[in-house]
Amino acid sequence: MLRSVFVKDHMTKNPVTLAPDMEILQATHLLIDNDISGAPVLDKHGRLVGVLTERDCMRVAMRAGYHGEPGGLVKDFMSGNPQWIGPEQSILRLADLFINGRFHRYPVVDNGRLVGVISRRDVMRALGKYYPKANR
């Protein structure tokens, strides 16, 4: 069984974050350069205000295809009012959210502040650590 069942022990601490007023092309390149599929968007006070995903960035390309040069601000393309979880959340409960939901990652918020991000891949790594490999 898992030694630690808490999100805080498996999340990515100090994740890449974006600002709402950041240029969307700069943000897109941050996602590409860091090989991540999304990032939390924080206001100037460090509060979570949205999430920018690959899907959101693809909208930029689609818009440019129809209307010309790509551009705009992160706040124009991000998903607002993001769902988040707390650091004391059970990793098994989170696995259930991933199985039955549409999100690939969740921001982890404690006392109103972003403390990390946890993804499906993080959950898989956690499970992989604690279940032995099958012998062939």
Whole-number Å distance between alpha carbons of 124 and 107 = 17
**pTM, rounded to two decimals:** 0.85
Domain ranges of the chain: 7-130
Angle of CA points 42, 84, 19, to nearest 5°: 10
SS3 58: helix
Whether 114 contacts 107, CB under 8 Å:
yes
Q: What percentage of the chain reaches a pLDDT higher than 70?
A: 89
Q: What is the pLDDT of residues 82-128, one digit of tens each?
A: 999 999 999 889 999 999 988 889 999 999 899 999 999 999 988 88
- Taking the domain 7-130, which CATH number applies? 3.10.580.10
Find residue 110's DSSP bridge partners: 113
